[in-house]
Amino acid sequence: MIRDYVPGRDRDQLRACVVELQEFERGLEPRLPRGEEMADQYLAFMLERCARTSGRVFVAEVDHTVVGFVAVLANVPQEEPDEDLAPYAYISDLVVRSAYRRRGLGRALLEQAERFARGAGAGLLRVGVLARNEGARQLYASLGFSDYTVQLIKPLR
């Protein structure tokens, strides 16, 4: 079942999802901070950013347990003067806990995020993904997302 995030009731389970996502991404990019070290601060940041942009968090629930979530920012102002200046929607986070993957929950969360973004009047939906996260990239492509920009990095130390 996909439903709205309920503060208080879902917070600890949402936090566990953030930790698992961060640890998965650390496996792809070891310079990232540990999940337990950043989870509380990141969760507060994510929820504040959702509130500021008229966004929403949706959770995937199985047997009364939150097993994944998507955070979608509904009205992100464009700040780059060389881009289309219309606001856009942005999926800031998507995670399905490892024990629940390959059941269509990520797809269902993304479809809910898209419905929400359309309903909020967004004309464009963006998402960022680590280049090495092939599974997520394949899922996004299967739902009609395409590459727009590629950000490259070069470690200096």
Domain with 122 in it: what CATH number?
A: 3.40.630.30
Residue 111 lies in a domain: yes
- What residue numbers bound the domain in which 110 lies? 2-142
SS3 call for 64: coil
Give the pTM. 0.89
Q: Over the chain (157 residues), what is each successive 10-residue block's mean pLDDT?
A: 95 96 93 96 96 96 96 86 80 94 94 96 89 87 86 83
Residue 153 lies in a domain: no
Residue 41 lies in a domain: yes
Contacts of 91 by beta carbon, 8 Å cutoff, 6+ apart = 70, 71, 72, 73, 110, 113, 125, 126, 127
Residue 131 lies in a domain: yes
Residue 9 lies in a domain: yes
Residue 30 lies in a domain: yes
pLDDT number for residue 46: 96
Structural domains of the chain, count:
1
Q: What's the rounded Cα separation, in Å, for the pair 130 and 153? A: 12
pLDDT number for residue 62: 95
